[in-house]
Amino acid sequence: MSSTNNNIVALNPEHHRNIRIKSELIEQHGSQLHLVPAVLSEFIKLAVHYPIVITKNSQTGQFMCSAMLGLSQGENLFWQADKWNAVYVPLQVRRQPFFVGQEKEEGADQARFVLCIDENSPAISQTEGQALFDDAGEETEFFKNSRSIISEILQGEPLTRDFLTHLERLDLIEAISLDITLANQQQMKINGLYTISQDKLADLDAEQLKQLQTKGYLGPAYCLAHSVAQIYALIDRKNQQLT
5-47 tens-digit pLDDT: 788 999 988 888 889 999 999 999 999 999 999 999 999 999 9
- Judge contact between 5 and 120, C-beta under 8 A: yes
Cis ω for the linkage preceding 97 (within 30 of 0) = yes
The CA distance from 51 to 68, in Å, is 5
DSSP letters, 124-154, are EESSSSEESB-TTSPBPHHHHHHHHHHHHHH
Q: What is the predicted pLDDT for the residue at 106?
A: 65
The CA distance from 113 to 124, in Å, is 22
Using one digit for the tens of pLDDT, what is the confidence trace for 196-237? 999 999 999 999 999 999 999 999 999 999 999 999 999 999
Q: What is the predicted pLDDT for the residue at 59?
A: 86
- Judge contact between 95 and 154, C-beta under 8 A: no
Using one digit for the tens of pLDDT, what is the confidence trace for 93-136? 999 999 988 876 666 667 788 899 999 999 999 999 999 998 88
Q: What is the predicted pLDDT for the residue at 2?
A: 41
pTM as predicted:
0.89
